[in-house]
Amino acid sequence: MKVTFWGARGSIPSPMTTVELREKLKQALLGAVSVDLTDHHAVERYIEQLPQRISSTAGGNTTCVELRVGGNLFILDCGSGMRSLGNRLLQGTFGKGQGEAHIFISHTHWDHIQGFPFFIPAYVPGNKLIFHSPFPDLHNRLADQQREVYYPVSLEYMRSHLAFEVVDPNETLNINGVEVKLILLSHPGGAYAYRFSYGGQVVVFASDGEYHRMDNESTTRYVEFFRDADLLIFDAQYRFEQVIDERRDWGHSTPKMGAELAFRARVKRLALTHHDPVSTDDVLWDAVAEAYNYLAFRSRGTGMNPQCEVILAQEGTTVDLSGE
């Protein structure tokens, strides 16, 4: 299994500002006093050893995740990051009209579907795009955002073969040997998490979910759904004080809640995603540290090591589980 993040932002695309970029440049240059900036290799080595909060960015595109498993291409949500994924896919079979992808939709809030009109492989005859979701009217929802009052090109203009398969949340799918399960999350309008299992490995995609109560009784169904995942992709948009106060019922979670559920479920890797559009890279890396610290605290006195790795979902980064 190989996972690549093409969009990890929540709510609305939020590209890095010039002010934020200049701050990163300043921090990098302040540490480069002893580096020969005329030596390209020396500069490259220096960049490689910089902290990630300086040398990289989470990106500004909304949710889109590529999952490669068992020779299949699964696309998880169609946020604005889908445009970049489409451009990459055109370099292969999708550029020849011979591509096939299975697309899983968590829900149809705009930040999770807004990239589809810009997904160029959908316009190439011969490509096959199979949508899987519990929403029986998904075709209409996608068509609505491409009505001429919102977008100049209708869904019907797309020349690829679009198929829409309605999924029963109570049933397990089997797609070319990949087992797929669903669970309903607490989110306005309803959203679903997906669990993908193949060859003894598990990836869970749980974007856009709120956990009002964290006691065992209230969270058992989620813990069991996340159980022993090699990678849990988790909505950590807000801080804890936000979800219990001014952003309660907005349908999102926190790094600490993700760490707690990952700890109980014995998850191997926790990827924090659906980043708040107002959060800078510094804020997001602080969230990773917060989750790590919570895991260390949670394991204290239990005889267990906090073996769960915490990852910041960043555009263009890949988590490769195939070698494990």
**DSSP per-residue string spanning 15-84:** PPPHHHHHHHHHHHHHT-TTS-TT-HHHHHHHHHHS-HHHH----SPBPEEEEEETTEEEEE--STTHHH
Q: What is the pLDDT of residues 220-231, one digit of tens each?
A: 999 999 999 999
Sign of CA dihedral 47, 49, 52, 54: negative
Cα 271–169–205 angle (5° rounding)?
A: 10
b or e along 203-226 (b: 16 or more beta carbons within 10 Å of the residue's beta carbon)?
bbbbbbbbbeeeeeeebeebbebb
Place of tokens 């999924």: 167
Share of the chain above pLDDT 90, in %: 89
Q: What is the pLDDT of residue 135?
A: 98
Residue 97 and residue 125 in contact, taking contact as beta carbons nearer than 8 Å: yes
| Collapsed DSSP state (helix, strand, coil) of residue 204 | strand
Place of tokens 């995603």: 273
Distance CA 250, CA 172 (A): 29
| Collapsed DSSP state (helix, strand, coil) of residue 131 | strand
Residue 38 and residue 178 in contact, taking contact as beta carbons nearer than 8 Å: no
Q: What is the pLDDT of residues 147-187, one digit of tens each?
A: 999 999 999 999 999 999 999 999 999 999 999 999 999 99
pLDDT band at 238 (very low <50, low <70, confident <90, very high): confident
Can you read off the two tokens belonging to residue 265? 């479920």
Q: Where are the beta strands (DSSP E) in the chain?
A: 2-7, 64-69, 72-76, 100-104, 128-133, 161-166, 173-175, 178-185, 191-198, 201-206, 231-235, 269-273, 309-312, 318-320
- CA 216 centroid distance within chain: 26
Q: What is the pLDDT of residues 258-297, one digit of tens each?
A: 999 999 999 999 999 999 999 999 999 999 999 999 999 9
Of 75 and 246, more confident: 75
Q: What is the pLDDT of residue 213?
A: 83
Q: What is the pLDDT of residue 53?
A: 95
Q: Which CATH superfamily is domain 2-14+56-315 in?
A: Ribonuclease Z/Hydroxyacylglutathione hydrolase-like (3.60.15.10)
The pTM assigned to this predicted structure is 0.95
Residue 146 and residue 184 in contact, taking contact as beta carbons nearer than 8 Å: no
